[in-house]
Amino acid sequence: MELTNHFPALIMAVLLGISFLSPILYRWARKASAPALITSLSLALVMAIYLLFQVLQVGEFTYYMGGWPPPYGIEFRLDLIRVYMLLVVLAVSLWIMVYALKDLEHELKTEVMGWYYTLYALVVGSMAGIALTNDLFNLFVLMEICAISACAIISVKEDRACLEASFKYLILSAMGTGCFLLGVAMIYMVTGQMNYDLVNAALPEAVELYPNNMFAASALFIVAFGTKAALFPLHVWLPDAHASAPSPSSAMLSGLVIKIYAFALFIMFYQLFPRPLLESIPLNEILLWLASMGIMFGSIFAMVQVDLKKMLAYSSIGQIGYVFLGIGLDDTIAITGGFYHLLVHAIMKSMLFMCAGVIIYSTGIRQIKQLGGIGQVLPITMFAFTIGSASMIGIPGTGGLISKWYLALGALEIGRPIFVVIILASSLLNAVYYMPIIVNAFMQQEQFEYQVKPVPRQMLIPLFVGVAALVFLGVFSRPFIVLLENAVQLLF
Amino acid sequence: MGEATAITVILFVIFFPIIMTPVLMSVSARSEKLRNILAVITSAVTFLAVISLYSMVVRGDILQHTFFELLPNLEISIRLDVLSFSLAVIASFIWFLCTVYSIDYMAEEHGGSRYYPVLMFTLGSCLGIFLAGDFFTLFVFFELMSLISYILVVHEETEQALKAGYKYLVMTIIGGLALFFGIIITFEIGGTVSLGVGSIIDEGTLLGLLAFVCFLIGFGMKAGMFPLHVWLPDAHPVAPSPASALLSGVMLKTGAYGMFRVVFNAFSVEVLQTTNWDIVLGVLAVITILLGSAVALTQNDLKRRLAYSSVGQMGYVLLGLSVLNDNAITGAMFHIFSHAIMKSCLFLAAGAIIWKTGKRSISELGGIGREMPYTMACFSIAALAMIGIPPLNGFLSKWTLGLGALDANATVYVLVLLISSLLNALYYLPIIVPAFFEMVGENEHGPALRFNVRDAKPLMLIPMVILAIFTVIFGLSPINFPFDLSQMTMDFLLHGGNL
């Protein structure tokens, strides 16, 4: 038994382990706690990279937790698309954490820092699990862990707005998990299985006998994952939650947490449900129009916001729509675009939240209209903000363009140019609300009148990394696209 | 010149100005003089490097080179043919003159440390548009140039400039998105967007029409085509004058260039003529010409009048492009050259006048010709060329366009050209005539001086004079380099195959 065989389980174990250790470390060896968390995240990332190479070499494989095969044991499945998701989750969360170490000192009370590390590791660990798991009940458990710890990293700031927002999130997210559980029950009723592959094998027959069960289950799934991923019109919790949380949490929630549920829904559609079912119920059609409305309304709501972080949060509602659009278009190219956007948006939105975090850290400003002239005092931050916005709009040379290119190409491929128009219209709307911020930041003539605290280098370096990553994704996108195309093709 | 050398030169031409941008920025902090000299050297070297490609172009060679694939089948590539060369040569030449002019003009303005780097960056991206080998690369440079030149538009940072700049920015992004849509459709239909494969869309399907309309919006926006010209009369006048000259003289041409590429490379002459989509272009061109000239009449701000005139003049190019026969294409091509020369000259002269007198409204400028004779002489020559007085170059382009229209039996287009010339005369002559002949009173030494200013400094004057001389010698003189290039381009586009 080699250690490398157990990497799928070890990733989870490392992350969950550090989440238990963090409070203890923080109490007795405060200096070691942050490096320990960073080390664990890096360790998990290294293991995930190893897994990627393994999958590229031998193709997809499964891993049984504790050596128990299904139907009794928990199965992890490692195929290209899941490993991709795992890598995105781990890489982006490591990156956010590096930034968070300094920012949190400012936003949180010192006593709760150790707990924050715990919660952070729990969120990351559960997301890694959601990406890999091949078992409905296990998915449910992980979703609960993720939801509760995500609520907690909002409320950890302990001010009124945060508590209110996290309570709202808790209720809606519990509703989502409830729907999911109900859906799982429906499926279990007719198939008697929990493992994806076994369910998938048993479903065609079950659909014949109990069609209503399956209709209900798929509707429940859309509601469940839609709520958690803030699919329009189930997004109502998101703006408050993402805007009031500490900035690293916002980056985490907007960048990764909502995406993992979109990914889970994708897995439901393409690995759990048999293809004929997907074709008999217009699930994709529903998803497409909900996504389109989300794209438009998210952007329109973002335009009228006065609070910077709230604007970014509304923008996320629009952007998650792109991912759902990719899934709904049901075409290799479009799904590739959707998943590429998942990565690009994870980076750009996290970076924009980090920029907002730096601005709040340094000046305490949250209102958009007070940002005039801030480019003179925080040039690096606003440069990063500019690149992030450019990517949001889809300016050439940034990753945002590539994902839009693929989504649009996919829409044309299946002969529906109307969705291209929606994508382009929303790009324009993005421009309308991001551009004035940048223009005012750099072009305002009067001096910036607020007090400015110097920004530590540790907060600025992650911004540079983000800028570099976005430009890299915009210019050297080919290997990622090829990888994703292969990954998606395997599912059809 | 071998192919490898040519590729190196092309890369140099595009990236040398872009690389010089940070250099200029860092030099700027130490010595303004050094920065100005470096900027001039950069543009001069770029111009010379473009010229050096001539030997290859004159042989009729085409260079198409792919560097790498950004996405499967979507390349980053460069291309050199006579059309790219023509545009690149005029752009880099005007750029050089405007940079020289800027030295004195910007000396007393703020923000030179931002102006020169941006100017050079825009030069690089503008040449990138002309030398791109596929629509995607073209799009990348197009967006880069459009967005960066925003900084030139709002340079003054007045409220008016910011407002105009915002309009410019929004329109640019709309145009960019439309272009993006057009390119995606082209890619979907043809599986490639390279300029090296001839007509990519060879059927007049509905999707093809959508692509055509998108291209028309994207490039037409930049070229100031009706009804997408609304940003132009606001954005061009508020910029510093050398930048206005570049915006009107060169950057508008990127839109026209794009339309050339769309007509000949994305589609083909046959497709456009069988589907009658060229008529759409023709109608829009006629409206653009008449509207631009008519509105120019009503403007009292000198630079605004010139900007509206640009709208009208770009209509000529589009008109030639819609007629699509030998003479019309030659005329459209030649008008790109002549308009670049005339309009830059006019903007530079207007800039000198405004800079010296601080007056922008035309009604206040009577008698200026006696105080700034050289500047006003250049202005007058260029304005007469605009009207189309022989033997100036404006006459030759109108003549050729008119011949093209007659070849196509489109007499109405000739009428449009004549009416617009009349309108040009109506709005340019009232500037020139009072400038020389209006009397403001007399004293014992002769006519009184109204402004008490002297003519512009030599560094500002020389570029204007050169441009004014060019309007004369590139008119009816036997050695007409731009006209030869236009004919070569026409020959290449219409008879040399599209490859």
Q: How far apart are CA A39 and CA B459, in angstroms?
A: 63
**Prediction ipTM score:** 0.80
- What pLDDT band is residue B216 in, cutting at 50, 70 and 90? very high
- Does A424 sit within 8 Å of B178, measured CB to CB? yes
Q: How far apart are CA B321 and CA B361, in angstroms?
A: 35
A162 is a domain residue: no
SS (H, E, C) A214-266: HHHHHHHHHHHHHHHCCCCCCCCCHHHHHHHCCHHHHHHHHHHHHHHHHHHHH
Q: How far apart are CA B146 and CA B125, in angstroms?
A: 9
- Does B187 sit within 8 Å of A402, measured CB to CB? no
The closest CB to that of B184, out of A408, A436, A478, belongs to: A408
A478 in contact with B, Cβ within 8 Å: yes
Q: Mutation target for A interface from B18, B115, B180: give the one with most A CBs within 10 A.
A: B180
- Does B185 sit within 8 Å of A412, measured CB to CB? yes
- Does A409 sit within 8 Å of B188, measured CB to CB? yes
Question: Total structural domains in chain A?
Answer: 1
All residues of chain B having their beta carbon less than 8 Å from the beta carbon of residue A406 are 71
- pLDDT, one tens digit per residue, over B473-485 is 888 777 888 888 8
- Does A402 sit within 8 Å of B166, measured CB to CB? no
Interface of B with A in 202-231 (CB under 8 A): 207, 210
- What pLDDT band is residue B285 in, cutting at 50, 70 and 90? very high
- What pLDDT band is residue A181 in, cutting at 50, 70 and 90? very high
CA distance A408 to chain B (A): 7
Q: How far apart are CA A319 and CA A308, in angstroms?
A: 16
- What pLDDT band is residue A34 in, cutting at 50, 70 and 90? confident
Q: How far apart are CA B336 and CA B342, in angstroms?
A: 10
A–B CB contacts, 8 A cutoff, strictly below = 77
Which residue range forms the structural domain that includes residue A374?
Answer: 282-492
Please name the residue of chain A whose CA is at the shortest distance from the CA of residue B169: A435
What's the confidence (pLDDT) of residue B201? 85
What's the confidence (pLDDT) of residue B71? 76
- Spell out the long-range contacts of A378-383 with Cβ–Cβ below 8 A and sequence spacing 24 or more: A378/A452, A378/A455, A380/A455, A380/A460, A380/A463, A380/A464, A381/A355, A381/A455, A381/A460, A381/A463, A382/A355, A382/A438, A382/A441, A382/A442, A383/A467
- Does A478 sit within 8 Å of B181, measured CB to CB? no
A219 is a domain residue: no
A429 in contact with B, Cβ within 8 Å: no
- Does A482 sit within 8 Å of B72, measured CB to CB? yes
Q: Is the pLDDT confidence value at B52 over 70?
A: yes
Residue pointed to by tokens 């009031």: A244
- Does A393 sit within 8 Å of B157, measured CB to CB? no
**Residue A317, CA atoms < 13 Å, CB-side half-sphere:** 31
Residues of chain B with pLDDT > 90: what percent?
Answer: 36
Residues B262-276 as b or e (16 or more Cβ within 10 Å = b): bbbbbbbbebbeebe
Q: Tell me which residue of A338, A31, A304, A15 sits closest to A145, measured CA to CA.
A: A15
Residue pointed to by tokens 């293991």: A47
Across all residues in chain B, what is the average pLDDT? Answer: 88
Distance of CA A484 to the CA centre of its chain: 17
What's the confidence (pLDDT) of residue A246? 87
Q: Mutation target for A interface from B173, B189, B201: give the one with most A CBs within 10 A.
A: B173
Q: How far apart are CA B382 and CA B373, in angstroms?
A: 14
Q: How far apart are CA B54 and CA B338, in angstroms?
A: 19
What's the confidence (pLDDT) of residue A388? 93
B73 in contact with A, Cβ within 8 Å: no
- Does A424 sit within 8 Å of B188, measured CB to CB? no
Write out the two tokens for A243: 């805007």
- Does A424 sit within 8 Å of B181, measured CB to CB? yes
This model's pTM is above 0.90 = no
A117 is a domain residue: no
B185 in contact with A, Cβ within 8 Å: yes
In this prediction, residues B252-260 reach a mean pLDDT of 92
All residues of chain A having their beta carbon less than 8 Å from the beta carbon of residue B185 are 412, 417
Q: Mutation target for B interface from A395, A434, A440: give the one with most B CBs within 10 A.
A: A395
With a CB cutoff of 8 Å and minimum separation 6, the contacts of A261 are A130, A143, A225, A228, A229
Instruction: Work out the end-to-end distance of chain A between its first and last CA atoms, rounded to an integer number of angstroms.
Output: 34
B34 in contact with A, Cβ within 8 Å: no
Q: Is the pLDDT confidence value at A465 over 70?
A: yes
The closest CB to that of A395, out of B143, B154, B210, belongs to: B143
Write out the two tokens for A276: 């004929």
Phi first, then psi, for residue A236 (nearest 5°) are -55, -25
All residues of chain A having their beta carbon less than 8 Å from the beta carbon of residue B178 are 424
Alpha helices in B31-134 (DSSP H): 32-52, 54-58, 82-107, 112-131
Q: Tell me which residue of A173, A12, A196 sits closest to A86, measured CA to CA.
A: A12
Specify the pairing of strand A61-64 against strand A75-78.
antiparallel
A157 is a domain residue: no
Contact A25/A34 with Cβ under 8 angstroms?
no
- What pLDDT band is residue B441 in, cutting at 50, 70 and 90? low
What's the confidence (pLDDT) of residue A3? 79
- What pLDDT band is residue B465 in, cutting at 50, 70 and 90? very high
Q: How far apart are CA B378 and CA A76, in angstroms?
A: 79
A200 is a domain residue: no
Contact A245/A165 with Cβ under 8 angstroms?
yes
A303 in contact with B, Cβ within 8 Å: no
All residues of chain A having their beta carbon less than 8 Å from the beta carbon of residue B160 are none
- In this predicted model, which residue has the larger pLDDT, B30 or A471? A471
Q: Is the pLDDT confidence value at B499 over 50?
A: no
Contact B262/B219 with Cβ under 8 angstroms?
yes
- pLDDT, one tens digit per residue, over A360-383 is 888 888 888 888 888 888 888 999
Contact B400/B481 with Cβ under 8 angstroms?
no
DSSP bridge partners of B68: B76
Please name the residue of chain A whose CA is at the shortest distance from the CA of residue B72: A478
Residues of chain A with pLDDT > 90: what percent?
Answer: 33
Q: Tell me which residue of B248, B256, B246, B250 sits closest to B223, measured CA to CA.
A: B256
DSSP bridge partners of B75: B69
User: 10 Å Cβ neighbour count for B411?
Assistant: 11
- What pLDDT band is residue B444 in, cutting at 50, 70 and 90? low
Please name the residue of chain B whose CA is at the shortest distance from the CA of residue A401: B180
All residues of chain A having their beta carbon less than 8 Å from the beta carbon of residue B170 are 431-432, 435
Q: What is the DSSP string of B367-431?
A: THHHHSHHHHHHHHHHHHHHHT-TTSHHHHHHHHHHHHHHHTT-HHHHHHHHHHHHHHHHHHHHH
Instruction: Work out the end-to-end distance of chain B between its first and last CA atoms, rounded to an integer number of angstroms.
Output: 20
- pLDDT, one tens digit per residue, over A289-316 is 999 999 999 989 988 888 999 999 999 9
A49 in contact with B, Cβ within 8 Å: no
User: 10 Å Cβ neighbour count for B55?
Assistant: 11
A206 is a domain residue: no
- Does B178 sit within 8 Å of A397, measured CB to CB? no
B143 in contact with A, Cβ within 8 Å: yes
- pLDDT, one tens digit per residue, over B297-314 is 888 888 899 999 999 999
A431 in contact with B, Cβ within 8 Å: yes
In this prediction, residues A10-27 reach a mean pLDDT of 89
A432 in contact with B, Cβ within 8 Å: yes
- Does B143 sit within 8 Å of A436, measured CB to CB? no
Interface of B with A in 155-174 (CB under 8 A): 157, 162, 165-166, 169-170, 173-174
In this prediction, residues A418-426 reach a mean pLDDT of 90
The sign of the CA dihedral A286, A289, A295, A299 is negative
A106 is a domain residue: no
Interface of B with A in 286-305 (CB under 8 A): none
- Does A477 sit within 8 Å of B70, measured CB to CB? yes
Q: Is the pLDDT confidence value at B144 over 70?
A: yes
A176 is a domain residue: no
A424 in contact with B, Cβ within 8 Å: yes
A59 in contact with B, Cβ within 8 Å: no
- pLDDT, one tens digit per residue, over A222-264 is 899 999 988 888 888 888 888 888 888 899 998 899 999 999 9
The sign of the CA dihedral A274, A275, A281, A283 is positive
3-class DSSP state for residue B43? helix
